[in-house]
Amino acid sequence: MKKQVKTAAVLFLLACVSMTSCNTSKKENNNNMIEKVSFGKLPDGQETELYTLKNASGMEVKISNFGGTVVSWTAPNNKGVYEDVILGCDSVSGYLKGVPYFGALIGRYGNRIANGKFTLEGKEYSLAQNNGVNALHGGLKGFDKVLWTATPIEGEEPGLKLTYTAKDGEEGYPGNLSVEVVYTLQKDNSLKIDYKATTDKTTVVNLTNHTYFNLNGNLDSDILEHEVTLNADKFLPVDKTLIPTGELKPVAGNVFDFLKSKKISAGINDTTDTQIKAGGGYDHCWVLTDSTKTLKSAATVYEPKSGRVLEVLTTEPAIQFYTGNFLDGTIKGKNGIIYKHRSGLCLETQHYPDSPNQSAFPSTVLKPNETYQTTTVYKFSVK
């Protein structure tokens, strides 16, 4: 009897020791720690950084303080294999060569403003015409090309807080604009992006993220067989310079109808459609059916071979669906891969393009004492 008690006590002690060592090793291997490495130097000698956010299930998102750029993002396929599912470059030097906004934060005004001009409170403002006659994505040095101040947020759901203050007059826009963007990698394999901004003069703001997704996990492929759902019953037809005409056109009965899941290839080359012709494919803003400012599902993308599913939720009223039509095989990205035509798709949650010139569109005006605040979530799963 005595011997049995002794054995039990020894076993209990051993169990305690092994539990403690398990806990310790879990802490040592804590994959929630945020790693920071150099991402290379800017021409003026400033260092840029690359932060790695990891969650417990193994998803890894790498973000640079240069442009607040999401550089890589691994997601599991239906066999549990994690692969990079976004376009990007190996170091900051790649981004300086003029890549089309891969993974970047876009501002102060995402998308186009007609003729690079708008009038606010009776004053006309002129912007750089960096896209034909129009202004695109914040100008010559938009938020995608500036160095943000980064603060890691450790925890089970690790994050990166990025702040940047755009000066009054920077890129032609009025008001000192203080911007804060927080990326949070959540337990459920989603990346949440919280945007906030305040100004000291009336201005216009439309912030988004410009990640190019390719759910194949093989970035040397196109996105044509991806199946897309857009919870939007209208879209904004554009003129030949891609400025909305002002019409909100029902998607019913044309190739812009993604209310039910559909392969991108089904309509993207239908050049009998004048809008497909104008965009060289899909490069349009869809108006979400649910116009409330709540976080609602805007889009879902499914890639049948890998089984990967990406859902996009947003508080914004619209989403620009761009199918990488201007990618032309001249950019060499991560690991030497050449990004061919339509090798990535963007789902840029936002307000409507050219809103500063189109008073019927929901307003993008931000006044002093107001706070601009939006949230978008990109969530991965498998089917």
Active site residues: 210, 348
Per the CB < 8 A criterion, the answer to whether 54 and 185 are in contact is yes
Closest CB 350 distance from ligand BGC, rounded Å: 9
Contacts with ligand BGC by CB under 6 A lie at 100-101, 242, 283, 320, 322, 326, 346, 348
Residue found by looking up tokens 């300086």 in the block: 96
Residue 56 or 133: the one with the smaller Cβ distance to ligand BGC is 133
Per the CB < 8 A criterion, the answer to whether 161 and 169 are in contact is no
Residue 15 or 338: the one with the smaller Cβ distance to ligand BGC is 338
Closest CB 235 distance from ligand BGC, rounded Å: 13
With a CB cutoff of 8 Å and minimum separation 6, the contacts of 132 are 241
Closest CB 345 distance from ligand BGC, rounded Å: 11
Residue 179 or 285: the one with the smaller Cβ distance to ligand BGC is 285
Torsion of CA 259, 261, 267, 273, to 10 degrees: 0
Q: Cα separation of 369 and 190, whole Å?
A: 32
The token duo for 156 is 């089970």
Closest CB 281 distance from ligand BGC, rounded Å: 10
Q: Cα separation of 84 and 59, whole Å?
A: 10
Closest CB 341 distance from ligand BGC, rounded Å: 13
Q: Side-chain half-sphere of 304: how many Cα atoms within 13 Å? A: 9
The token duo for 310 is 């990406």
Per the CB < 8 A criterion, the answer to whether 230 and 214 are in contact is no
Residue 98 or 122: the one with the smaller Cβ distance to ligand BGC is 98
